[in-house]
Structure 1
């Protein structure tokens, strides 16, 4: 559930941002395009994160932290490595989904990835991860209450 929340918020945010930046406008047609593109990007992101990037990020975070390190230190490394991998892959994939496959996607990647990386790193660290943790705390609290009353 935690991963679904994070992937959903990140995919929605980055799909909206990149679509709006690509057309340099936000109107009804752009909103429709975002709504059509979001489910595709969400499915791709969830598969990519769970099958490849998440596993690599977890291993790298383990190499850069010690068992005695704080939860926050481990989480920040995990976020950093996940964002590096996901932003690199999703910038390329998003450009291909939006513009089709051509040599342009690689040229666009060189300029778009650094921007996407910085934006999504800030969004993940400051907004998306805290929202997901808050949602999970509330979900667990409500489940605990159900167990108490059962």
Structure 2
């Protein structure tokens, strides 16, 4: 008997898959967003790119921690207030990306500056309203067009492979 509720293949179904999903998105995001923002801030050059590569491991850890401890809880509380049962998958994904990028870009506009300059200062606060919209825009489009689609595609392929193995066993 076929279940009327379609199981979503493009999203993680358990904690292990959630970790894989987070790893895919965070690795793509940190390795694209950080170099673009640094290039826009300091100019696109080999020297700037090499300096960016040196901070990427630290930024990746920070991003994973912020997603897990800050963005997920905040977005988890806000999403149910903004969505309806009738909202489709794409609307939910778009809102989810918008909320996550908003929270993370606000925090990382400040923290990323501190990590990049290797000092805690008030400078990111002084330049916040100049830097944050640019950082948000870069992060939003990378998430929307690159990182999230790749992660959802990976989940879809993983679930298709799992489903085909189940069909063989059920046969």
Report the TM-score when normalising by structure 2: 0.78
* C-alpha RMSD over aligned residues: 1.8
- Pair 1:55-2:73 in alignment: yes
Q: 1:96-115: CA deviations, max 9, x gaps?
A: 11122112121222211011
Q: Is the 8 A contact 1:79 1:124 kept in 2?
A: yes
Q: 1:74-117: CA deviations, max 9, x gaps?
A: 22111111111001101111111112211212122221101111
Q: Is the 8 A contact 1:15 1:34 kept in 2?
A: yes
Aligned to 1:96: 114
- Pair 1:40-2:72 in alignment: no
- Pair 1:5-2:24 in alignment: yes
State the alpha-carbon separation in 2 of the partners of residues 135 and 56 from structure 1: 26
State the alpha-carbon separation in 1 of the partners of residues 44 and 142 from structure 2: 22
| More helix as a share of residues | 1
**More divergent stretch after superposition (88-97 vs 106-115):** 106-115
Q: 1:33-81: CA deviations, max 9, x gaps?
A: 2221111111101110111111211221110011222122122111111
Q: Number of paired residues?
A: 149
Larger Rg: 2
2:97 to 70, 79, 83: 79
Q: Relative contact order (alpha carbons < 8 A, sep ≥ 6): 1 or 2 greater?
A: 2
State the alpha-carbon separation in 2 of the partners of residues 106 and 43 from structure 1: 22
* Structure 2 unaligned blocks of 5 or more: 1-19
Report the TM-score when normalising by structure 1: 0.88
- Pair 1:117-2:136 in alignment: yes
The residue matched to 1:67 in structure 2 has which SS?
A: coil
State the alpha-carbon separation in 1 of the partners of residues 133 and 109 from structure 2: 10
Which runs of structure 2 are paired with 1:123-138 in the superposition (5 Å)?
123-138=142-157
- How far is the alpha carbon of 1:23 from its aligned partner? 2.3
